[in-house]
Copies of this chain bind each other. A is one copy, B any other.
Amino acid sequence: MRIAIVGTLDTKGEEIRYLRELVQRRGHHPLVIDIGLLGPTPFPPDIPRQEVLRKAGVELKSLLEKGEEGEAAERMAEGLAILLRELQQEGKIDGVLAIGGGMGSAMVARGLQKLPVGFPKVLVSTKVAQAGAGAYVGTRDVVVIPSVADIQGLNRLTRKVLGNAVGAICGMVEAIAQGPEAGRPAITMSMLGTTTQCGLRLKEELEAKGYEVVVFHALGVGGRAMEEFLQEEGAEAVVELAVNEIGNYLFGGLASAGPRRMEVAGELGIPQIVTPGNADFINFLSPDTVPERYRNRRIHRHNPQATTVRLEAEEMELLGRTIAQKLNRS
């Protein structure tokens, strides 16, 4: 199987060489992609940085002459995203293994998030333990491995972590090689807390009728992932048991799934059942993440990292109108 290895060859050349060697030793084919900006590369990559940048329509030389390093990093991330998606769609790679510090992780993460769910993608990063993984994984199944020590050369710690990363990506592409199982027609379902019992009951009935039910947890990322799933894979029907993400978008809660939530099914003509499940609140994390303006509301502390704020009548009216507008367009 072919595994893309992505990183900045100027600063992480030794580590990338080691990853390449381990991938080969395991019988797979590495494809080294350089996204370094400045220094020389210790060995020639399979796809050089100039070629990555050219995917974004720019020339490295002219960018660096302008002294626009931030701009160059931005364009490199853009070019990498295009390149990885092309390589995946053309069947030229079976998985991606990326390593990065703060800057590098952010650059590769954009590309990894464009690859389909199930396509093996691993990011070894110095930053996830500190800054959290949310920004790196987006709505996708990016496998995140904290580097523990800094990625500065090979030593007993980095060798273990990099060795495990190679084990993980190789194990994943080998699993994919076994092939997927046959599918049944899919129905997607949003669900959250108070509507879980209802959803599980419905799921059971639908499965008994031969459907496959894909459940999304309506906390922002879940709703976004559901819309993307509908866009990319489609479904026989959609059941909405949680509309709180729309309220979160309208009123500044933390579980927003963006302005396009509950629009894809209508656009594609997929039948929908929409209930007012979880319409009456918006979500925050710990109590101190609740904005000042909501502190006099009815607040429910679900657990230390989940606080909900009750909406008022006018807000629920606006929520209802917003949902009606979305559905009327379908």
By a beta-carbon cutoff of 8 Å, the part of chain A in contact with chain B is: 22, 26, 101-103, 117-118, 120, 122, 126, 128-134, 137-150, 152-153, 155-161, 163-164, 166-176, 180-181, 183, 186, 191, 199-200, 203, 207, 212-217, 219-222, 225-226, 229, 233, 255, 285, 303, 305-306
Contacts and interface: CB of A to CB of B under 8 A. Distances in A.
A168 B222 CA distance: 23
A205 B221 CA distance: 47
10 contacts: A120-B167, A133-B133, A133-B146, A141-B145, A155-B214, A164-B172, A164-B175, A167-B172, A167-B176, A170-B171
Contacts of A144: 128, 133, 143-146
Nearest to A26: B175
Given A142-B146, A149-B226, 9 more contacts: A102-B306, A117-B148, A133-B146, A141-B146, A141-B160, A144-B146, A152-B200, A163-B175, A168-B171
Contact of A126 (B26, B103, B217): B217
Contacts of A213: 152-153, 155
B221 A152 contact: no
Contact of A149 (B26, B168, B215): B215
A173 to B, nearest CB: 7
Contacts of A226: 149
Contacts of A161: 117-118, 141
